């Protein structure tokens, strides 16, 4: 579907989705967890992500870590 034709109503109709509004999606508090030593080492060894200094670059580091970590577990 071209972006110019995209509407929430069309997606809801095409995929038979229902929206729920007014309900809290995330819990009120989120438990803090410690990153694994492997993730800490990877983040400390990536000065380019810090040098770029954007949240996008930092988040991609975490996503790639998770993706490739899970991919390695499948092989």
Structure confidence by residue, pLDDT tens digits, 36-55: 887 777 777 667 666 777 77
Q: Which residue has the higher pLDDT, 42 or 14?
A: 14
Say how far apart CA 43 and CA 31 lie, in whole Å: 21
**Cα radius of gyration (the chain):** 19
pLDDT at 13 over 60: yes
Residue 73's SS3 state is helix
**H or E stretch at 49:** helix 47-52
**How confident is the model at residue 44, as a pLDDT?**
74
Taking alpha carbons only, the member of 47, 49, 74 closest to residue 63 is 49
- Contacts of residue 58, defined as CB under 8 A and 6 or more positions apart, other chains included, come to 49, 50
Mean pLDDT of the chain: 78
- State pTM to two decimals: 0.33
């Amino acid at each position: 579907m071209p972006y110019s034709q995209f509407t929430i109503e069309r997606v809801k109709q095409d995929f038979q989705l229902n929206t729920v509004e007014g309900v809290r999606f995330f819990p009120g508090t989120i438990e803090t967890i410690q990153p694994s030593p492997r993730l800490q080492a990877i983040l400390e060894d990536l000065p380019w992500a810090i040098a770029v200094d954007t949240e996008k670059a930092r988040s991609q580091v975490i996503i790639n870590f998770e993706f490739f970590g899970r991919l390695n577990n499948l092989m």
